[in-house]
Each structure stands twice: as C-alpha cells, then as structure tokens.
Amino acid sequence: MKYSARDQEWAEWMRSAIKGDTQAYHRFLSAVTPHLRAMARRRCDQFGAPASEAEDVVQEVLLAVHLKRGTWDPDRPIGPWLSAIVRNKLIDSLRRRGRHVNVPIEDVIATLEAEEQSDGLDRLDAQHMLERLKDPQRDIVRSISLEGAGVRETAERLKMSEGAVRVALHRALKSLAALYRSDAREDE
Amino acid sequence: MKTNDLISLLAEDAPVGMRLGRMLAIALLVGVVVSALVLLSTVGVRPNLAAAIETARVLFKIGFTLVLAAAACRLVFIVGRPGLSLKARGLQLAVPLVFLAIAVASELSVLPSEAWTASMLGRNAAFCLFFIPVLSLAPLAGFLLVLKNGAPESPGLAGASAGLAAGAIAASLYAFHCPDDSPLFLAVWYSIAVLLVTTIGYLIGRRWLRW
C-alpha cells in the first residue's frame, strides 16, 4: 500500500515530536487541526448537534491525540492510527453531547450563521476551565497558552525547575481532558 | 481556550515518556516473575517434576499453555493501538485450540472409556479452579494498568485479551505444580479457569479501559 506525501510528512513530524521536538509537534498539530475541524463540523451536522460544539469536539480530539500518541508505532503509517483515534473520540464526544442536544432546526441555522462570524474558535470559557485546574498547573497553562511563553521561560517566571514545569504541564493536560469529559456529562 | 492556544500548550509537552510496547513488556515480565514466586513460595512445583516432564502428557500440558499464553500476549501487544487489524493475531489463538482438540482425541483413543471420567475429573480440580485465577492476578493487573495508557478501539475486547493472556500465563505456571496430566483434565478445568479470568478481564476492561 502506498501512503501519501502528506502522511509521510505528518509521520516525520510526529517522530521528531516524540523525541521532544516542540516545533515539529506544533507543525503536526496545526496541520491536523483543519481536518479535524472539517470532520467535527460534518459529524455535528449528522448527529444534529449544534455546529458551535464542533470546536469543543476538535479540542477534545486534539487532547486525545496528544495523550494517546504513545500508542502510535513510529514504524507504521500515521494515517490509520490518526483516523482510528479521531473516529473513536469524535463518536464518543458527540454521543455524550448528542444525548442532551435537542435543538430545533431554526436554532441550528441561527447558530450556523453566528458561527460563520466568530469562526467558533473560542467556545470554551478559558477562565472557567483554568479556574478548575490546581495551583501550579493553572499558572503554567496560563503562561504557556495565553501568554505564549515556552517551558524554560515559564520555569524562570514561576521559579520552578524545567522538569517540574514539564511534569505539571503533562498533569494539567490530563486534567483538562478529564474536565472536558465531566463537563459534557454534567450537561446531561 | 482558543484551539491555537491549546496547540501551543500541547506542543510544549511533546516528548513521550515511555511507549506502550515497552510498558507492556515490563508488565509481562513483572507479572510472570511475581506469579512464579507466588507459586514457588506456596505450593511449589511437583516433587517428581524432572521425571514427569519427559512424559508426553506433561510436555503437552506445559507446551499447550505456553503456546496459548504466547498467542494471547501477541494480541495484548496490539489491542491497545488503534488502527491495527486484530484479525490475524486473533485467528492465531486457534492454533493451541487445534492442538488441544488433537490431544483430547488421541487421549480418548488411547484410554479405555471406563477411565475417561476419572481422567477428566482428576484429583485437584477445585484447587486448579482456585489457583489459576490467583496466579493470574499479577499479570492481569499489570496488563490492565498499562492498557489504561492505550487507546483500545474496543475496551471490552482489550480487557478480555488481557484476561486471556494473564489466565494462560497463570495456567502455564500452574502446570509445573499440577499433578493431573490428562488432556481431558486440561480441556475442562484449565479452560474453565482461563475463561473465568478472561471474563473478569472483559468486565473490568469494558468500563475501565474506556478513554
């Protein structure tokens, strides 16, 4: 079987990422996201979930790709792995949300129109999510995501070692993934 | 949080600590060692092991359980990785079963039919049913803990594979103690014990291995 140049490029980036190449990983995630978004919007339509939820789903899928990237075998093509993760998480996420979604079609149309303007990139209330993280985790997440600092800079700013920042960041991402899941459940 | 901010956040956490395959290998090794120690420190191996191991029945008993354990472990090693087909390795589980069927058939042809029931019931069936699940605890716990880091497409199937592998490992260890050597005993009591562990794995995995 032949794999596309795109798949090979993605796999190359992911291989570097696993070894710790932050930039390659950033390229990989940025390249994958538009595809995830298109898929999430299509599925939201299909499941009758408001399109505004698509971006939440995208973020949940990104977190799953991230937390499960150790299950990809670098000797194998990345396409099938990625599709399986995305399909599984997409269905799971929409099923959880879908259960309580019961919006009349006019509202969906209205949401869709609103979506076009805002591009739906900020569905989740950042402040709300951050507040639910524990202390060093919250500062680290804020520093890296909102203020655009790297790990080293964050470590200096918070007077922590780089290792400690890395560990706390990893835990924070796990907590975020759990928060997404519990958030969707609370709404049921 | 904006998706682009999330991407920056994830990118900073790029390196992977330990990959799934290596974690599973460690769980397998630790599980086998712990269960072997449990066997040795409690009931021990059978006293006449050196002589017994040369008989065809004992060789088959140990060989069958080892082949089953190997086939099930091969399944465990891919069941946590999404996007892989499980069919080939799933079908390999049939290999030890075919061996067992042949062994049962030849045992039935060798033994007079009056002896069938006694061979099947053996001497230690109840202990076998108790001790194989006990010996499976360490490998089962190890596999499940590691698979929690995996991304199984079917959590129930992943749990069942872990249970089957752990049960088969336990059975192959127990075979060094077990005084009942007939393939008829193996086909009944070992199977029940291993299926019990498989079911436990399935029930735990179905809920706990969801991600």
User: Does residue A3 sit in the same domain as residue A58?
Assistant: yes
State whether B11 and A26 contact (CB < 8 Å): yes
What CATH number did the domain enclosing A110 receive?
A: 1.10.1740.10
User: How crowded is residue B46: how many other Cβ atoms within 10 Å of its Cβ?
Assistant: 17
Instruction: Give the range of the structural domain holding residue A164, as residue numbers without chain letter.
Output: 124-188
Task: Please state the rounded mean pLDDT for residues A149-178.
Answer: 87
Is the predicted pLDDT of residue A21 greater than 80, yes or no? yes
| Residue ranges of domains in chain B | 17-208
- Total domain count, chain A: 2
Chain-centroid distance of CA B86 in Å reads 17
Q: Residue A183 — pLDDT band, cuts 50, 70, 90?
A: low
Over chain B (211 residues), what is each successive 10-residue block's mean pLDDT? 87 87 96 97 90 89 96 96 92 95 95 92 93 98 96 96 98 94 95 98 96 86
Residue at a domain's end among A76, A94, A122: A122
Q: How many CA atoms lie within 13 A of A188 on its CB side?
A: 12
State whether A71 and B151 contact (CB < 8 Å): yes
- For residue A133, CA distances in Å to A172, A177, B9, B81 come to 7, 11, 14, 29
| 3-state DSSP assignment of residue A100 | coil
DSSP state of A53: G
Is the predicted pLDDT of residue A161 greater than 60, yes or no? yes
User: Does residue A99 sit in the same domain as residue A42?
Assistant: yes
Contacts of residue B11 in chain A, CB cutoff 8 Å? 22-23, 25-26, 29
Contacts of residue A144 in chain B, CB cutoff 8 Å? 8-9, 12
User: Does residue A114 sit in the same domain as residue A155?
Assistant: no
User: Does residue A4 sit in the same domain as residue A50?
Assistant: yes
Contacts of residue B14 in chain A, CB cutoff 8 Å? 17-18, 20-22, 24-25
Residue at a domain's end among A104, A122, A140: A122
User: Does residue A115 sit in the same domain as residue A183?
Assistant: no
Task: Output the DSSP codes for A54-71.
Answer: HHHHHHHHHHHHHHTGGG
Block residue for tokens 């949300």: A97
Closest-CA residue to A137 (of A105, A179, A106, A109): A179
Dist. CA B151–CA B158, nearest whole Å? 9
Q: Residue A126 — pLDDT band, cuts 50, 70, 90?
A: low
State whether B3 and A59 contact (CB < 8 Å): yes
User: Does residue A114 sit in the same domain as residue A179?
Assistant: no
Residues sharing a CB contact under 8 Å with residue A125, sequence separation 6 or more, in sequence order: none
Complex-level ipTM:
0.81
State whether B151 and A17 contact (CB < 8 Å): no
User: Does residue A55 sit in the same domain as residue A111?
Assistant: yes
User: Does residue A50 sit in the same domain as residue A114?
Assistant: yes
User: Does residue A113 sit in the same domain as residue A128?
Assistant: no
Higher-confidence position of A181 and B116: B116
What CATH number did the domain enclosing A149 receive?
A: 1.10.10.10
Closest-CA residue to B14 (of A170, A17, A32, A143): A17
CB-based contact (8 Å) between B84 and chain A?
yes
Task: Please state the rounded mean pLDDT for residues A64-87.
Answer: 91
3-state helix/strand/coil string of chain B: CCHHHHHHHHHHCCCCCCCHHHHHHHHHHHHHHHHHHHHHHCCCCCCCHHHHCCCHHHHHHHHHHHHHHHHHHHHHHHHCCCCCCCHHHHHHCHHHHHHHHHHHHHHHHHCCHHHHHHHHHCCCHHHHHHHHHHHHHHHHHHHHHHHCCCCCCCHHHHHHHHHHHHHHHHHHHHCCCCCCCCHHHHHHHHHHHHHHHHHHHHHHHHHHCCC
Residue at a domain's end among A82, A101, A122: A122
According to DSSP H, which parts of chain A are helical?
5-18, 22-47, 54-67, 78-98, 105-118, 126-131, 135-141, 151-158, 162-186
Closest-CA residue to B197 (of B146, B147, B151, B131): B131
Dist. CA A12–CA A85, nearest whole Å? 18
Task: Please state the rounded mean pLDDT for residues A158-184.
Answer: 84
The pLDDT value recorded for residue A129 is 72
